[in-house]
Amino acid sequence: MMRMKKFCLSVCWIFLISTFLNAENTPVSAKAEDPVYEKAYDLYNQAKYDDAMALFKQILEKDSKNLKAQVYYGVCFMGKEEFDQAIVELEKALSLDAKFPLTNYALSVSYARKSSPDAMKAEEYLGLAKKYGYQVPAWFEQYLDRLKKGKVPAQKEEKKP
């Protein structure tokens, strides 16, 4: 009986992960084998945002419809705590694919974290992220609830480019 439960749980996790990965791989013009994208993504993961942004921008100059490069270009601005600029870039990604879950989640976080937070916009994009399959961390939903109730301290001024 216990083995059957473990097996069923494993199958469910595999299904959930593959569903999310498929949502993550909506029509995008970049191939996973693109060495420039891979290098940019690696730099992003190392929090080397300026270096990553230069490469994502290079990709976007060649292919302005590259969804993942556009999303991560915007997310790099988030890493630099430049949330207003992140919103500008993420909205460009939204125009490429409004149903891409990561874009909606990143917009939600950006609206919640900017120096003058917009809880309504953050909640709107959070709802869309969930609708399109993003697994939202519980801490962020709790943060957004506190923000809506006015229990989040004022944000520091954003860094300017």
Convert the pLDDT of each residue in 44-54 to its tens digit: 999 999 999 99
pLDDT surpasses 70 at 26 = no
Number of structural domains the chain divides into: 1
Looking at mean pLDDT, say which of 31-35, 149-153, 157-161 comes out highest. 149-153
Helix (H) or strand (E) holding 146: helix 138-148
Residue 1 lies in a domain: no
Residue 88 lies in a domain: yes
Write the DSSP assignment of 52-114 as a string of letters.
Answer: HHHHHHHHHHH-TT-HHHHHHHHHHHHHTT-HHHHHHHHHHHHHH-TT-HHHHHHHHHHHHHS
For the domain that residue 128 is a member of, what is the CATH number?
1.25.40.10
* Per-residue pLDDT band at 65 (split at 50, 70, 90): very high
**Which pLDDT does position 8 carry in this prediction?**
38
Percent of the chain with pLDDT over 90: 68
Residue 86 lies in a domain: yes
Residue range 83-100: mean pLDDT, rounded: 97
Rounded Cα–Cα distance for residues 25 and 105 (Å): 15
Residue 115 lies in a domain: yes
Rounded Cα–Cα distance for residues 99 and 20 (Å): 12
pLDDT surpasses 50 at 20 = no
Residue 81 contacts residue 159 (beta carbons within 8 Å): yes
Residue 68 lies in a domain: yes
pLDDT in tens, 97-154: 999 999 999 999 999 999 889 999 999 999 999 999 999 999 999 999 999 888 877 6
**Which pLDDT does position 21 carry in this prediction?**
33
Query: Residue 78 sits in which domain range?
Result: 30-148
